[in-house]
Amino acid sequence: MPADTARNVNAEPSDSVRAIERIFALQKKAYGENPFPSYDQRVAALDKIVALIDANQDRLATAINADFGERSRYETVIAEIIITRASARHAKRHLRKWMQPRGVATPLHLMPAKSRVEPQPLGVAGIISPWNYPVQLALSPAIAALAAGNRVMIKPSELTPHTSEELAAAVAETFDETEFAVVTGGVDAGEAFAETPFDHLLFTGSTAVGTRVAMAAAKNLTPVTLELGGKSPAIIDDSADIDKAAQSIAYGKMFNAGQTCVAPDYVLAPKAKTEAVAQAIADSARALYPQIDTTTDYTSIISDRHFARLKALIDDARDRGVKIIDVGSANALHPQRKLPLTLLIDPPRDADVMKEEIFGPVLPLLSVESADDAIAQVNAGERPLALYWYGSDQDARDRVLQKTVSGGVTVNDVLWHVAQENLPFGGVGKSGVGAYHGEAGFETFSHMKPVFYQSRFAGGAMLRPPYSKNTDKALSLIRKIL
């Protein structure tokens, strides 16, 4: 929902907006007719997701490649196909347990009653998915919502039109639209989608747009999960193996050309080792992508506008006299929009590259005086979506984990906490609200309903009027118990 565009509420609604309204009404009606899908019905939906991925992976990969200009097929298989398929299969394996009511302790003064938390489908879930991983970040939250027994609608990004159309067609071929549907469209469709009174809305994208989505959802008191971003640090402790850390950081930063919400945004390294760290990252990047301008292993920047934004960040740093290391050929710049990894050594804090999420293969390296200095620099900014720590000193590691707040952490590597379905994935502060993946996703898209089962032997009648000395005795006993 772009900041500079306001929807004209008096204009005739587009076909996309009408489709949103029509399908939402159908799904609300279908939910009312079957508000608690059975285990078998939910498993069938998860099986359909797996079948959809298996049957359409080649056409989806081709569409993603067309949208990016060039998208590494290996990255698409890893990040879009394998991870999403694994998410559906994980949900299927654990669904029966997730659906079970959870018994909770009942205090002595309320005995012999029983208490449970019973998961219940919310109704119709809306998902606004981004362009950087246009299949995974659409289908993964849909998997959680379907497992929880909901109807699902997705509005994918208009920046990946080929993928959006293929995804919409694949879903329509596999599901009835009363259960699961994809609605494509531009700005007006995105705004209308955010304003639809879903029972839960999940958005993945920038913090700025996420704020506007939350404001639109608030008009209907629609609960939201916001998967945003921010500046995720990679901290290299004095105890770290620099070569191993550099290999990991180079991979995490260059995967999908850095267009990943949990990519390392900047590196904090001991002052005496900053140059060595920079050289090690550069060497690792050259080993990963020896010929950036010709290899199909390296992904393009999504659009000319995003490419120009990244170049402007580099130019601002260059104008400030920042030392710059380019890892790749200048021939890569056009027309494929392949931007070499660009290392910026100790840019000032007021440089543009330090004030916004980079979302591309530009990596500032900042020198720190100590581990406490690194912690202070992280805490000086907004809470990040991810944090990466490298080293062997467990006390130093635990100090960082205790003294910083981030959405998630991977120790001695990058990205992998996101692929672990048993870990919730989400941000904190301006990097996000709420979480999903695995059981956390099931609970996000469920109403975890508290139920108190009173016993026929309950003594609650003693606390009802007309009050008497027996009431005083009962209250005295309760005080002793409590």
Catalytic residues: 227, 261
- What residues are paired with 301 via a beta bridge? none
Helices 207-218 + 187-194 axis angle, to 10:
50
- Sorted by sequence, the CB contacts under 8 Å of residue 22 that are 6+ apart come out as none
Which of 253, 160, 168, 169 has its CA nearest to residue 205?
160
Which of 118, 134, 142 has its CA nearest to residue 201?
142
Residues 367, 277: contact at Cβ < 8 Å?
Answer: no
Helices 136-147 + 83-99 axis angle, to 10:
10
Residue 308 neighbours by CB distance under 10 Å = 11
Give the pair of three-digit tokens for residue 380. 């000086």
Query: Distance between CA atoms of 340 and 381, rounded to whole angstroms?
Result: 27
Strands 435-436 and 233-236, by their bridges, are unpaired
- Sorted by sequence, the CB contacts under 8 Å of residue 370 that are 6+ apart come out as none
Q: What is the three-class DSSP state of 362?
A: strand
CA distances from 336 to 39, 160, 327, 332, 426 (A): 47, 16, 17, 7, 32
Cα angle value 433/86/250 (rounded, 5°) = 70
Distance of CA 355 to the CA centre of its chain: 21
CA distances from 206 to 348, 368, 379, 418 (A): 24, 28, 20, 18
Query: Distance between CA atoms of 434 and 444, rounded to whole angstroms?
Result: 8
CA distances from 129 to 27, 194, 206, 391, 478 (A): 19, 12, 11, 35, 52
Residue 80 carries which DSSP code?
Answer: I
Q: What is the three-class DSSP state of 281?
A: helix
Residues 389, 411: contact at Cβ < 8 Å?
Answer: yes
Residue 98 neighbours by CB distance under 10 Å = 19
| Sheet hosting strand 386-390, strand order edge to edge | 323-327, 341-345, 362-368, 266-270, 233-236, 386-390, 408-411
Question: Residue type at 37?
Answer: P
